[in-house]
Amino acid sequence: MLEIRPNCECCDTDLAPGSTEAMICSYECTFCKRCVDDILENVCPNCGGGFTLRPIRPKVARRPGLSIDHQPASTKRIHTTYGASELKEFARSTRHIKPEHR
């Protein structure tokens, strides 16, 4: 089950559980759409994979026990350990390879 992390690992922007700006890689590294597009160029700085929109967990339990109230989002904030220049260089060296070939 996804953690639904609360922030962008790059700029620390809040990403509420229902945010349509949250992007994740296959390891659930979480970044805002702006950082994915403008800094990371669709290259996860942690694993090198690509990003997709993070799914939104339902607010209402339309099936018993299945909603954000039953499986709350994480409150633990995660931050990348890489500086801006490292992020840009990694993206620049990897962006030409399609995510499915990385």
Q: How far is CA 92 from CA 58, 59, 96, in A?
A: 36, 38, 8
CB atoms within 10 A of CB 61: 12
Average pLDDT, the chain: 96
Residue 83: strand, helix, or coil = coil
- 27-65 pLDDT per residue, tens: 999 999 999 999 999 999 999 999 999 999 999 999 999
Whole-model pTM: value is 0.92
Residue 84, token pair as written in the block? 């801006």
Distance separating alpha carbons of residues 97 and 102, to the nearest angstrom = 6
Distance separating alpha carbons of residues 24 and 22, to the nearest angstrom = 7
Query: Which amino acid is located at 65 in the chain?
Result: G
What's the pLDDT band for 69 if we cut at 50, 70, 90? very high
